[in-house]
Structure 1
Amino acid sequence: MTDSGKNKIPLDTFLIGIGASPGISIGETHSVNRERVRAVERPIAAEEIPFEVNAFLEAVQQSKMQLEEVKAAVSDRQLAEHLYIIDTHLLILEDQMLIDSTLELIRNEQINAQGALKRTLRRFREVFERIEDEYLRERGSDIDSIGERLLRNLLGEGQQAIAGLDRKVVVVAHDLSPADTMQMEKEQIIGFVTDVGGRTSHTAILARSMGIPAVIGLENITALVKEPTPVIIDGSHGTVILNPSDETFREYLKKKQNYDYLEKELLSYRELASETRDGHHVALRGNVELPDEIPLVLAQGAEGIGLFRSEFLFLNRRIPPGEQEQFEVYKDILEKMAPNPVTIRTLDVGGDKFVPEINLADEANPAMGLRAIRFSLKERRLFHIQLRAILRASAFGPARIMFPMISGVAELRACRECLEKARAELAAEGVAFAAELPVGIMIETPSAALVADMLAQEADFFSIGTNDLIQYCLAVDRGNEHVAYLYEPMHPGILRALRMICQAARDKGIPVAMCGEMAGDPLYLLVLLGLGIDELSMNAPGIPRVKRVLRQVTREDGEQLLARLSSLPTAQDVSRLLEEEMGKRFPELFAPMPI
């Protein structure tokens, strides 16, 4: 496996990154040049403006043609359920804000096309960087991908092909676009590693869906690997081992065999009931961004949609979507998921991030500013349009509506008043809508947890957004590398908050769901079972793994473990005991992370 004389990298060089897609790959590296091109801005003379305008428009058309070619190739490879990602990129290329802003800069500022595009992309990127939600923030990587393609076409620079290799390799690149990932043939590309990237990027999501192990965010892997190098990547733990020793090779070969066996076994769980050994049912549902994701959700055995993010109807456009446009999207997803329920979350983004005509000043702390339901209650006209669209769509399938970032009863009542106004208006117009539309709230602020008993009297269901709840309760920005280590899902304070929320829901007889990252991590399944969570909503590929754990335990197992964990004073103590317990029960799933 190794050839330390040829390779200057020391034996067993361990690197730690972000595990973007689980699984173990053992092979040799293949470097692909995906370094960002450098756009140089320069002033232009008036007579050069038409040339630069045409150059930009031709780059847009060339980029569209390239993506259409990717779509055609992907269709041949039966990955049609992922084509919405390429369609998203095509929509960005048709976005008038992107095109008009660039053309205006060329004409009005008299700068070259690449400089104008660079400025426009920077503005777009700044919008996404201010978004608190990690999943939404990572959509900025799509802007980066499109921008890179446009710049390369503007500069006439080709891009090294990633398909058509004649051997099995682990791709090494600075970054990879979703189009790159979609063109990967699993027979040749057995994994990939990158310098940059986030776990919720479309590239990472695709890798998980396609079953290609990946580790991203390694920072300098391209600088280390200059020639073909033996490598092991462990996408489950975010570990990369360059030039592994014979002993390490044998160890990981055994781990890979065990992992591959487990993955085949998981396929059999997709159609099985999501219930414990003692017959307790927990609904496993999907988190969805676009209707085109539904085939994947259904293929994984989801019992509906626990979180449909409506934000993408609103982002990156000059004018917010109208009622009819929203209605058609909601109707489409409800019809495709019927008879399973769909939970539609109302807009969960700050107004300054998508509505140019609403001039909001930059906020020093946007995470605690005018966002989510606060924005909707301020901009009642936009809220009213969305509520009407959801109500109209409810006639076509079992819908639920969910309000984000509720901090107290007054906000919930205000939301219900707005909903009743929309309902009365539609009734007067003779427009059909469901007689029953369950109204839920996301519990993601400490105040909502503290008054959960009061909120439970006026909500039809709770959905715990653990990502924000943990962040706000612990006063930790997990995107800040200096304090991210304090982001502890098993902090005793978080456990107490979760118990308080679940007890309040039980006392009032309303169901409680969870749609944050904890919901899709089987490590926490027993804890959530002990808490009495009724529904878990997650990214679709995680459903079989969670179901496998669920079907091998009892509710009493969860209650007993929760009691033991609740007596411990630190997050480290709780996590250690939890990992030990789950490691004993499921050694094939929770093997200790290599040191």
Structure 2
Amino acid sequence: MLKFSGSSVFGGVAIGKLFIFKKNENKVERRHIEDVEKETERFEKAKEKALEQLQGLYEKALKDVGEANAMIFEVHQMMLEDLDYQDSIHYMIKEQQINAEFAVAQTSDNFAEMFAAMDDAYMQGRAADVRDISERLISILTDSQSSLDVFQEPVVIVAEDLAPSETVQFEKDKLLAIVTQQGSANSHTAILARTMDIPAVIQADIGLDPEYNGKTVIVDGFTGDIYVDPDEETSKVMEKKLAECLAEKELLQQLKGKEDVTLDGKQLKLYANIGNPGDVANVLRNDAKGIGLFRSEFLYLESEDFPTEEEQFKAYKAVAENMAGKKVIIRTLDIGADKTVDYFNLDKEENPAMGYRAIRICLKQPEIFKTQLRALYRASNYGQIAIMFPMIISVEEVRKIKKIVEEVKAELTELSVPFKDVELGVMIETPAAVIVSDELAKEVDFFSIGTNDLTQYTLAIDRQNAKLGDFYNAHHPAILKMIETVVKNAHAAGIWAGICGELGADLSLTETFLKMGVDELSVSPAMVLRVRKIIRETDTSK
């Protein structure tokens, strides 16, 4: 038995097969080949396998996230079958007598550069598609695929680190746990693990040894311990712990249908955070009373190009309809910082957390913003949608946003497109927003406090920096005083204030938030019933 340790970011116990996830660097070397016909046949077989994989991904996505989000895999199949693309590869293999993977890599670079140089934004976006299908081909040709496509059973992922864009592509029903050598407890990948209700351990001292692949592994998400090839005694102890976890979950199920009200009668809105339409099942399964944060940027992270108005509309509409009249608060895109997307063509920044991101992109590139707002307002006709805007620092920003909102509403009215007037709110996640929250409260219908970024900016600590973990203190008195200030200013203006950051699920603070008068807590679906238990056991009058 081998034992490794790391830092827990989400509790739970997972037992299953281990899978080493390595990023596909695919450094392809040029090789001279003698048999051109054989090499061409090798490419053709790889192409057919890639087409099969893409068709499988399309069918899976169709079931999980709907036709709009599945379309990308259909587009990739079409590009893979493009004659110009294939002719270039065939020509290089034949005329230069080079290996297929190098021909694919060279063609990928040439086509990507050609698309990127075009004036049309849509065609520029095709550069990322070419690279994607080419990487898939090279991975097949070099037998270096590190995708969950190859697994038919759930596994424990072990990786150096995972970007949010990588995590969202994993099939959730194939993930038992996530273990990374690097990472931060406050990274978006950690947040996704909590949303998916799977154990997660970061900064683990486990190596990425290929020999571990397929071995039995146990992950204790409570302690951060990882056991590879566990002995009989360890297996028995951990199996018992897993059974206890399942039993606790079973007990929590008894809280379904119960009100989120304290012993002294104080009512709270207990909502859930989601990243895409597929997460709604977890929201309903855990009996949240609404969705307090729909991270709409994951529609962008999961796409190879800007999602169209129609694609976004279908996603928002599906969530609104599935929630059957319960509130759905959708945050406009929060791209930037650690959530990067190639087709946005964002410049590299020295300090991206404080750079060109979120509402700043929307106000600087209103065409992107308006596309999303049109989709949101169209979807408002199918449920109880509210919209909130991230990274606000001033009243002037809110007034600019409201002006653009009015323009969008006027456009829809002129086209006779039905929509509802919806609640508009802002996220309070900068110290500036806290200080002027009394003024902001006069402009909006609600506040949602994003404690992750608020903590980062208040303490001047990069929440992605693992070295600063000992200094990062989400319970810092300054943070709690800020939350209390925001709630008081909201109530003074007659609006409500909630928390949608990770601190909302901190059970040690639930009673504190209740006493502060926080109106809403939005947490990962897996935490809803746990928070409800604390709420129902609390008496704020004492």
Does residue 41 (structure 1) correspond to residue 28 (structure 2)? The answer is yes
The corresponding residue for 1:386 is 372
Moved more, 156-165 or 508-517: 156-165
Q: Supply the distance in 2 between the matched residues of 1:514 and 1:288 (Cα, whole angstroms).
A: 14
- Equivalences for residues 497-512 of structure 1 within 5 A: 497-512=482-497
Q: 1:213 to 1:145 in 2, by over 3 A?
A: farther
C-alpha change, 1:536 and 1:116, in structure 2 (3 Å) is farther
Q: Which residue of the partner structure matches residue 173 of structure 2?
A: 182
Q: Is the 1:300–1:543 Cα contact (8 Å) retained in structure 2?
A: yes
For residue 556 of structure 1, give the secondary structure of its aligned residue in structure 2. Answer: coil
Which position in structure 2 is the counterpart of 1:346? 332
Verify: 1:301 aligned to 2:292, yes or no: no
Contact kept in structure 2, 1:18 and 1:198, CA below 8 Å: no
**Superposition pairs of residues 144-543 of structure 1, within 5 angstroms:** 151-156=138-143, 173-174=158-159, 182-183=173-174, 209=196, 213=199, 215=201, 217-221=203-207, 233-240=219-226, 258-315=244-301, 320-350=306-336, 353-354=340-341, 356=343, 361-434=347-420, 436-543=421-528
The structural deviation recorded for 1:469 is 0.7
The equivalent residue for 2:12 is 23
Shift of 1:481: 2.3
Aligned-partner SS, 1:406: coil
Distance verdict in 2 for CA 1:289–1:218, change over 3 Å: same
CA distance in 2, matches of 1:268, 1:385: 42
Matched letter for residue 441 of structure 1: V
Letter in 2 for 1:42: E
C-alpha contact (below 8 Å) 2:500/2:522 kept by paired residues: yes
Distance in 1 (CA, whole Å) between partners of 2:133 and 2:172 is 14
Q: Give the partner amino acid of 2:12.
A: G
Shift of 1:266: 0.8
Question: How has the CA–CA distance of structure 1 residues 328 and 60 changed in structure 2, closer, same or farther, with 3 Å as cutoff?
Answer: same
The alignment partner of 2:541 has SS state of helix
SS at match of 1:551: helix
Which range is displaced more, 107-116 or 534-543? 107-116
- Alpha-carbon distance in 2 for matches of 1:323, 1:316: 15
Answer yes or no: is the 8 Å Cα contact 1:67–1:179 preserved in 2.
Answer: no
Task: State the distance in 2 between where 1:113 and 1:317 align.
Answer: 26
Could you tell me which residue of structure 1 aligns to residue 124 of structure 2?
none
Task: Tell which has more relative contact order, 1 or 2 (C-alpha 8 A, sep 6+).
Answer: 2
Check the 8 A contact 1:67/1:86 in 2, yes or no: no
Contact 2:199–2:221 under 8 Å retained in 1: yes
Q: Which moved more, 1:212-221 or 1:491-500?
A: 212-221
Partner of 2:50: 60
Which TM-score applies when normalising by structure 1? 0.69
Change (3 A) 1:267 1:322: same
Q: Could you tell me how far apart the structure 1 residues matched to 2:132 and 2:390 are?
A: 30
C-alpha RMSD of the superposition: 4.8
In structure 2, the CA distance between the partners of 1:346 and 1:98, relative to structure 1 (3 Å rule), is farther
**Which residue type is aligned with residue 63 of structure 1?**
Q
Helix, strand or coil at the partner of 2:442:
coil
Deviations for 1:293-341, whole angstroms, at most 9, x for unmatched residues? Answer: 2122111111121112222343476753333333332222212212101
Contact map agreement 1:40 1:115 (CA 8 A) in 2:
no
User: What letter matches 1:540 in structure 2?
Assistant: P
Paired residue type of 2:404: C
Residue 245 of structure 1 deviates from its aligned partner by 10
Deviation of residue 510 (structure 1)?
0.7
Q: Distance in 2 between matches of 1:315 and 1:183?
A: 20
Mapped to 2, the partners of 1:260 and 1:173 lie a distance apart of 24
Letter in 2 for 1:154: L
Q: Is the 8 Å Cα contact of residues 449 and 501 (structure 1) preserved in structure 2?
A: yes
Contact 1:285 1:537 in 2 (8 A): yes
Counterpart code for 2:173: M
CA spacing shift, 1:466–1:162, aligned 2, 3 Å: same
CA distance in 2, matches of 1:324, 1:349: 20
Quick one: structure 1 residues 194 and 329, their matched pair in 2 at CA, closer, same or farther if it must change by over 3 Å?
closer
The question of whether the paired residues in 1 share the 8 Å contact of 2:18 and 2:216 is answered with no
Give the share of equivalent positions with the same residue, in percent. Answer: 33
What secondary structure is seen at the aligned counterpart in 2 of 1:482? helix
Contact 2:26 2:135 in 1 (8 A): no
Tell me, yes or no, if the aligned pair for 1:63 and 1:153 is still in contact at 8 Å.
Answer: no
CA distance 1:63–1:196, shift in 2 (3 Å): farther
Distance 1:545 1:61, change over 3 A: same
Sort the Cα spacing of 1:473 and 1:55 in 2 relative to 1 into closer, same or farther, 3 A: farther
- 1:548 maps onto 2:538 in alignment: no
Once the two structures are superposed, residues 475-530 of structure 1 have per-residue CA deviations (whole angstroms, 9 ceiling, x without a partner) of 11121122232221101111111111111111112111111111123232122212
